[in-house]
Structure 1
Amino acid sequence: MAILNTVPPQASTITKPNLIKKSKSKSPTCILPTLPLEIVEMICDGLSTRDLASLMGTCRDAYRLTIHRFAQRYTEIYIDFSQAYFDHIHAIASNKVMRGYVQRLVIMTREPYLGSGVNWEWSMAGHVKKAMDMAVIKRFRDDLALRLVNCRSFIISPVGHAHTKEEQDRQFNPDDAACILLDIIADASLPIKIFWYGKGMNYTSDIMNISRLPKALFSNPGFRAGWNALENLHLEHEPTPSNYSFLMDMILHAPNARKLYLSLGPKDLAVEFFSQLSRSSNLPRNLERVTLSFTAIKADDLITILYQSRHSLRRLILNGVTGLSVGWLTFLSKTQSLFPALETTSLNML
């Protein structure tokens, strides 16, 4: 996704999470109202986020003419689950104009800086204790559920290097962020569009530690209601005996998914995972795009999975997939009539 290559405005131009509030005084020398709107927009587009915020705060006319251009830079908010960024999001959510533009939350921060400034409590099992009872998380939950009503996409793609097991146990990590977001989905029945849960550049630590994720999540009516709306699911996790069922449930409880990306590693357990997935009666049946990357699957299981979405499938992408038998592509081409909507098949490193 192109969004993951975007440098967050606040990371490059704002030294600390803050919003410039409207000035109560009106400058008699403001010339912006005398300019054509196109010129005002060109001026806004030529300014850094910091400078545009300064211009916006000079007077009421400047605020009125520039706030929407400023807000357009916050369709995507980068968050590191620190106190400063929770305050930053709350400031955006409290602005009636800006909050309407926010569509995605992205967790893409180096792990040592995740969760700083918050007094997290840790359970003996190694996960964040009673996060939903914390004042800062309650406010975050209300901001997402009640104010940021267009923000229904969560992207967890951490970057950084591996830690020792002892360091991981003491450090707020991407699984803790995922746990809080999943708990909020359940608590608020939040209808989700995109859930991207994987690894970013140079990230080598293990993720999806089941001890740090919510328990009984998929039997929670609120979560099932929110997850039912999911359109795009992106998972980059090697199946293990502990996370196997959790991974499976994330897919099978998303009946309305349109896009599915799975990167499950090349091991035998991935082959077994896909085999079980292909036999499930709850497999999504309206997929439009299926992407398998750096994983292993048998040809019969792949065909079975695709066949469930035969009337809607438009694009198939296979990148670094092993386990496919010789001649499977020939079989797919011969059965093209079974996939009337299929427009593109992209193959790489097979």
Structure 2
Amino acid sequence: MQKTPKKDKEVINVIIQEYQKNDLPWYIGYSGGKDSSSMLKLVFNALKRIEYFHKPITVLYCDTGVENPIVTTYVYETFEKLKKECKQLNIPLLFTILKPKLEDRFFVKVIGRGYPTPTNIFRWCTDKLRINPVKELIDKDVKAVILLGVRSSESEQRDRTISKHKTDNEYYLKQSGSSSNIIFSPIINHALEDVWLTLRYNELPKSIDFNQIRMIYKDAESECPVYRESKGSSCGNSRFGCWTCTVVRKDKSMGNMIENGYSELKELFEFRNWIAEFRDNIKYRCSYRRNGAKGLGPITLEGRKIILDKLLKTEQLSGLNLIPQEEINRIYELWEIDEINVNYQEKRLTTTCIKHG
């Protein structure tokens, strides 16, 4: 097997140096994708070379509840393998899986409250589903270092963001909106080829399998962020993320996965395409927004019931667990709240929706 790439050796030394510099807690944002996986490999190998550990490092994965099921299964299985491997090799990595608050979950928002699914204009998903759960945990510390798989060669937009938030240290970026936390990206100078070399030629940890990642992510070009890198950054242009994503016009990633044999995603793909059109059906949209302003408002109760029926049928056909019972229970509660609201009335031909509440 080829030895560790030269660039990786340099980065591993940087990680060791930064880890030993102070007592600030470290958090690794992990999505299961190639960039965050390569970064985690390098951190693991850096820790392997350290004799004394003065602080643990927490690896964070945010399960939005609407992640691609193939990826979610992979991440959960990988976490369990990593826990065992870290214990065997005495590597101080802790693994935490976060989830959005019940009120912020995708289907609670869409089916319970009537939120139209996200678009580039109304992109409410990233903060509520991904950023906030991680931020809430990290912000418990007075100051912290967040390790992200940010790369300067990924795109022109990413290069502009990095340039805007760079510091005197090439590996560090200022975190937008926070003066206490800072972003550390060990792979900031890694090109795409370097990332794959990192995954392929660093033997440890064995739990992060190059071939498996390559198979799942071969059509993905970027990952949804797990922590806010800059104001306004989002996964809207990403080709891989939530299976319900309607920010992108066409989900090429899922389509490619279905073509490559993941037939269990077919029903999910069809649901996603269906709801992308259904969200704009004026027949099932309110005439007033919830703030009382006249205009295209929430999805009507009738529309929300149609979506839930469609989702449950999709769940049955796919054989995948798509919505937990606690979310269904909350959806019914939110429907009851709307039904008894004095500002909500339904007629045979028209629907007058909530103006307040």
**TM-score normalised by the chain length of structure 1:** 0.29
**TM-score normalised by the chain length of structure 2:** 0.29
Question: Whose RCO is larger (CA < 8 A, sep 6+)?
Answer: 2
